[in-house]
Amino acid sequence: MPSRLPPPVPPAGPGGRVVVVGAGLAGLRTVAALRERGFDGQVHVLGGEPWAPYDRPPLSKHLLDRPEPAWLADELGHDLHALADRVDTGRAARGLLVDPDGGVVVRTDAGDAPADALVVATGSVAVRPPGWESALTLHTLDDARRLREALGRGGPLVVVGAGWIGAEVAGVAAAAGLEVTVIEAGAAPAAALGPVVGPWTAPWYAAAGVRLLLGSPVVAVHAGGVDLADGSTVAGATVLVAVGARPATAWIGDALPRTPRGELPVDAHHRVVVGGVLPGDGRAPGGDTPGRQAARGAPAVWAVGDVALRRSARHGLVPGGHWDAALRGPDVAAAAVLAHLTGDDDAHPPAEAPDPVPYVFSTQLGHELALLGQPGPTDRVVPRGDPAGADGWTALYVAADASPGAPGPGTSGVLTGVLTGVLTGVLTVDRPRDVAAARRLLGGRGLPTVDLAAAADPGRPLRDALLA
């Protein structure tokens, strides 16, 4: 690949030329937001998959009862082909050339795609450890079809990983009458929920007819199942690896700075940060956002959805992977792209960008979950309701310095005898009435201080807990 850019390409008409790499939710919303804001230049979309934009959550949640894709044209009312001047599905990006003075060229097997502004919306790819090629993954429409066909042939299903996707598929398969075993290397399922809340979800597996093996690292995957570190084998006609996903940014190479996970650091307006550092790496109630100096040193590249690592004044650094971010972030990016193309980004910087509350939802093992905010690894937990009971419950994550009387290291991590604390996240389980209240509590400029006694009382509205 040449190290220098080809000669600059003149703008495509008075509006300029925008290339969007990625034809999923974030890519589609970017194109729609550009048009909604009056952009009349050329929009060229490159999609690695051969399909029109579709919604990914139903791939696992409705794997067996809704085999047809949930097309986003129907879900959102956006027709990508009507909005964009050119749509090339099945044409993956292979490389990127960036001119510090403004030119951007995306390399593909079918030739170059030059742009005055580039939006990276390539999403993520499922992690598959080396040597596990015989196992299936679930992230794309084609993945779902292969998994559905395999399950249709019968036989036991082995799921490696007790995270969101693993739990969702296990529940769906068990409900369809399949024998299902979920194998987790850690001591508890649902690692994303933390060491206190994760174990509360373990009984759900047996209740759903799923065998759960904890503390059982897999060392090999083969046609007949998996081998565990203790020397035992778990037989399975189908093996699904559900051990996470990573941003799909390998094609960018060293053209832009990426984190070890492959994320692209962006400023508050989703512009990729080059020549500047995202300030801070933890939550900062009322903190700052990347300065204009860093943004001005950036190329004409924006990133949205799973690939973006954004700075939140409320939560610190927020990785992608939130469906809500792929839905809402593109509108912020589109405004900044238009300001850049019209030359107004320095004279008239975009207005203060919104700081959406991180939000993840899941339907798994007979339960409806919603996680809002960004709990930290040392946070304490306040249960709202009984996690072992039959009714819905909520877990409140509170910064570890809650006072007075916060438990010290080595305790269970469940707060008792504490009057107030800073709320960092909320998990609701079969308790939808707390979702909207949690979003409002966490939607201010900084993290809220709450009355923990009021928050822990399931008979009181969650909004009553707000102190500041």
AA identity, residue 134 = S
Q: In the beta sheet, which residues pair with residue 177?
A: none
Query: Rounded to whole angstroms, how far apart are CA atoms 285 and 450?
Result: 14
Secondary structure of 362-387 in HEC code, one letter for each residue: EEECCEEEEEEECCCCCCEEEEECCC
Looking up tokens 């047996």, which residue turns up? 206
Distance in angstroms (rounded) separating the CA atoms of residues 361 and 347:
40
User: Is residue 425 within a helix (H) or strand (E), and if so which, with residue range?
Assistant: strand 420-429
Looking at the DSSP bridge assignments, the partners of residue 317 are: 311
Query: With 0-12 CB in 10 A as exposed, 13-18 as middle and 19+ as buried, what is 195?
Result: middle
242-294 pLDDT, tens per residue?
Answer: 999 999 999 999 999 999 999 999 998 999 998 655 544 443 333 333 334 34
d(CA 326, CA 46): 17
Phi, psi (degrees; rounded to nearest 5) at 227: -105, 140
Q: In whole angstroms, give the CA distance from residue 81 to residue 121.
A: 17
Q: What is the pLDDT of residue 290?
A: 38
How much is the pLDDT for 322?
81
Half-sphere exposure of 207 (CA within 13 A, CB side): 13
Q: Which residues touch 67 (CB under 8 Å, ≥6 apart)? A: 148
Quote the radius of gyration of the chain (alpha carbons, Å). Answer: 23
100 pLDDT band, cuts 50/70/90, is confident
Q: Is the pLDDT of residue 151 over 80?
A: yes
Q: Is pLDDT above 90 for 114?
A: yes
Q: Which two structure tokens, joined as six digits, stand for 371?
A: 């996680």
- What digits encode the pLDDT tens for the residues 300-340? 999 999 999 998 889 999 998 888 889 999 999 999 999 99
**What percent of the chain has a predicted confidence (pLDDT) above 90?**
78
Q: Which two tokens stand for residue 415?
A: 């707060």
**More confident position, 352 or 335:** 335
Burial of 111 (0-12, 13-18, 19+ CB in 10 A): exposed
Share of the chain above pLDDT 70, in %: 86
Q: Which residue has the higher pLDDT, 289 or 68?
A: 68
Mean pLDDT of the chain: 88
Q: Cβ(413)–Cβ(407) under 8 Å?
A: yes
Query: What local confidence, expressed as pLDDT, does residue 299 receive?
Result: 82
pLDDT grade for 298, boundaries at 50, 70 and 90: low
Asked if pLDDT for residue 350 goes beyond 70, the answer is no
Of 136, 154, 119, 114, which Cα lies nearest the Cα of 60? 136
Q: pLDDT-based confidence at 406, cuts 50/70/90?
A: very low
The CA-atom distances, in angstroms, between 205 and each of 94, 189, 198, 230, 367 are 41, 10, 12, 22, 11
Q: Are 24 and 305 in contact (CB under 8 A)?
A: yes
CB count within 10 Å of CB 187 equals 12
- CB atoms inside a 10 Å sphere around CB 79: 16
**What pLDDT is recorded for position 278?**
53
Alpha helices by DSSP H, 277-401: 292-296, 323-341, 344-347
Global confidence as pTM: 0.88
> pLDDT at residue 234 above 70?
yes
